[in-house]
A and B are shown apart, each in its own frame.
Chain A
């Protein structure tokens, strides 16, 4: 689904160069739920932004759903973002004076769908996050957890191949965080591929795979609930799991 090879992202300012990602390689299979953890400033958001085509990279290869993204033009990248990727932000990023409906409808506007098709998809997406009855509300009339669920509905409305979430529960109390996590797990059970940045070790533990980013590089693999052919690696030590994953990486390359 997602295949990154030796990606580097360097932020250049007047005086300093920050290597936010250095030779970063990761492969995520279809249907996987991957948690990305790591210290603050290690490059998690940078990785997610590059994965979501919100940011470009300086070196390396990146293939998304079989499409090699380097060298694509702006409108091609935009179409990929619109059709294949659903992004969920820590701050929800809803437009405050738009109704819930209009917020969820937004990505569909750039798709050329008919009004009835858009309505069907918005309703379906709001249904999935349990907010179908609130479509006329403004974001400010909802709780933080509900707002994040609206943001998830917005990400789902375009029926993307992959959901990218940057600390989706970072602003929520544990009860609301739970609800959001349940929705993500349900989506994953229905077949969605999800990559989520999180600081919560419990959340990281309950997904298929936890990767750790340290200093712009992938540090470690922890596989908790194996998927598909990697099912026999259930109880390996960390180093064994890591080498197995590397082997898998090589095999897939």
Chain B
């Protein structure tokens, strides 16, 4: 095939060209890959922050804010944390396909059968059983607990790795703050970026929890609240909170059909109105339903500083392109003679254009490889300085592809003008 051989010929010519001016091409690759690398590292952050963690149903999951505070201090704004009885009222709605009511806690965990006394500081999600289906939690072994009561738990992959070396630990018993609970399910590695079910209090980039325990059990065991809570009354332990004005539970519901949202809204509004009619609170009826992406937006999960940095890296990348372009211009200027000669012996403008583009695509490929290594280093480095970025500073496969494409585009962009110039000279000018 003549076209194939032309392609390989152009590749050889490109390699020859690199060999003729290795330092220059090294500088070009370095210049472009620093620009692309910074850009790519930044996009990795934005990608983690702005991505939809549960695209298959993010539009159908709603976080519930309610306005049931018993007096008008704090002011008239619905809160993202609910009272026990309000949250339970939400789960009773028959409009929803599923619901989850939970609070965050923490315990020290050890294998009850182990002779070692080593305990692991573990994050707990005390939740109703609907949580697992609502969040599509991936099970490696076993299944969810079926009731909000009972001494059963589900554990995450990381804790299972730490305590049971990743083996199937269903049926084993953990000692959690002195209580024995049986493992009924083990999750696969589960990354939610952002952690949509709990993005408040700056937790959007925390890992998923270590232990998932039944809500009523956790309350009965007095496992304390490790997140925002508000109370209008005094209480000594969480086990007393069920019928008190203590606000600490978050509620999510899943709608089979988002057209049911207005019905759900009026269900909540009716509930608030009834409370108000009974004189339980003086506030305006104001309940809010946010789907996943709305809720992430409300919580400003995408850091404005990172966005500002994106703008800066776009500018930086264009400076890199201009630099590479001027370096390439000198290279193509030096190659004028050869361009003239090739044209004289029968290469068309199109041949020379394809040759130039082949060279820049190859250059872009090398740039892409270096850029990805650099952006990996940038991310490592940024985690050194800002440890809270640890779970965001990751290069997903789609970013590797994006980085490569970006490198190709920048490489071609910086070669366009030089190629154009090189083909402007009249053929005979360089040939004597």
Contacts and interface: CB of A to CB of B under 8 A. Distances in A.
Interface of A: 45, 49, 52, 54-55, 74-75, 77-79, 81-83, 87, 89-91, 93, 95, 97, 106-107, 109-113, 115, 154, 158, 166
A110 B345 contact: yes
A79 B9 contact: no
Contacts of B350: 74-75
Interface residues of B, number: 25
A112 B3 CA distance: 7
Contacts of B341: 93, 95, 106
Interface stretch (B91-99, B221-229, B423-431): B423-431
Contact of A109 (B9, B337, B348): B9
Contact of B16 (A49, A83, A97): A97
A79 B346 contact: yes
A74 B428 contact: no
Interface of B: 2-3, 5-6, 9, 16, 20, 337-338, 341-351, 426-428, 431-432
Given A78-B343, A97-B16, A158-B345, 10 more contacts: A49-B428, A54-B344, A54-B426, A54-B431, A75-B350, A77-B348, A82-B345, A82-B346, A106-B341, A110-B351
Contacts of B3: 112
Binding site secondary structure of chain B: helix
A93 to B, nearest CB: 5
A70 B269 CA distance: 83
Given A55-B426, A55-B427, A110-B351, A81 B346 contact: yes
Contacts of B426: 54-55
Nearest to A74: B349
B177 to A, nearest CB: 76
B427 to A, nearest CB: 4
24 contacts: A45-B428, A52-B344, A54-B343, A54-B344, A54-B428, A75-B350, A78-B349, A79-B348, A81-B344, A81-B346, A89-B431, A91-B431, A91-B432, A93-B337, A93-B341, A93-B431, A95-B341, A97-B20, A110-B348, A112-B5, A112-B6, A113-B2, A154-B345, A158-B345
A136 B44 CA distance: 51
Given A49-B428, A54-B427, A54-B428, A106 B345 contact: yes
Contacts of A158: 345-346
Given A55-B427, A95-B341, A106-B342, A78 B347 contact: yes
A87 B270 CA distance: 93
A166 B5 CA distance: 32
Nearest to B426: A55
